[in-house]
């Protein structure tokens, strides 16, 4: 198939997907109803909108926050609220740069609730707030967020939520500890 035809069909698909999402899903931050699927399409080039949408998801966390993303950068720390009631923040990533480690250690001097571990176990990205809201992210939370079309989707199926949480807990136990509140330099 000619590349131009393929590209045209792709853009037609994206246009249809966008209209389908607009007609069938309420705004992402309304209270979920069991029969609804919440999906937000982030259009290419919408950098601020993408990071603001992620920020709103993260800000919903009241007692715990889990972020699974192989490629996030130190900008993720700017999105995490520093509240006393947010008792536990767990970040699972693939590799931790020295720059990220430095920022995470500084974050922990003020918040004292950040745990970071490294494991290459997940391809997809997730945000879990208070172990009751599970979000699937089609893109990493890094400097490229918003550069391409992507989606954020609320996972409301309890069996899928449980499977994701169990997989996270299993991989968290096996992961290399990088940052923890009481002993920051563990590696």
Full-model pTM? 0.78
Cα–Cα dist 86/58, whole Å = 11
Band of the pLDDT at 185, cuts 50, 70, 90?
very low
Tell me, what's the pLDDT at 101? 93
Higher pLDDT, 22 or 65: 65
Q: Among 175, 168, 137, 150, which Cα is nearest to 64's?
A: 168
Q: Domain segments of the chain: what residues?
A: 37-179
| Residue 175, pLDDT above cutoff 90 | yes
| Residue 65, pLDDT above cutoff 90 | yes
Q: Among 65, 30, 12, 63, which Cα is nearest to 156's?
A: 30
Reported as a single tens digit per residue, the pLDDT across 97-146 is 999 999 999 999 888 899 999 999 999 999 999 999 999 999 999 888 99
Cα–Cα dist 39/19, whole Å = 12
Higher pLDDT, 111 or 14: 111
Tell me, what's the pLDDT at 135? 96
* Encoded tokens for 9: 């069909």
Task: Please state the rounded mean pLDDT for residues 4-26.
Answer: 62
Reported as a single tens digit per residue, the pLDDT across 150-164 is 999 999 989 999 999
**Looking at the domain that runs over 37-179, which CATH code has it been given?**
3.30.870.10
């Amino acid at each position: 198939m000619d590349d131009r035809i393929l590209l045209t069909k792709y853009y037609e698909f994206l246009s249809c997907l966008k209209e389908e999402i607009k007609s069938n899903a309420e705004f992402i931050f309304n209270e979920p109803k069991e029969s609804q699927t919440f999906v937000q399409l982030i259009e290419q080039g919408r950098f601020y909108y993408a990071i603001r949408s992620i920020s709103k998801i993260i800000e919903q966390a009241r007692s715990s926050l889990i972020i699974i993303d192989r490629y996030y950068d130190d900008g993720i720390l700017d999105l995490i609220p520093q509240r006393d009631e947010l008792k536990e923040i767990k970040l699972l990533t693939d590799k931790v740069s020295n720059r990220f480690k430095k920022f995470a250690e500084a974050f922990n001097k003020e918040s004292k609730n950040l745990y970071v571990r490294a494991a290459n176990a997940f391809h997809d990205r997730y945000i879990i707030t208070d172990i009751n809201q599970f979000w699937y992210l089609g893109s990493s939370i890094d400097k490229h967020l918003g550069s391409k079309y992507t989606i954020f989707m609320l996972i409301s199926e309890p069996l899928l939520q449980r499977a994701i949480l169990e997989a996270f807990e299993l991989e968290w136990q096996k992961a290399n500890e990088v940052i923890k509140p009481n002993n920051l330099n563990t590696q």
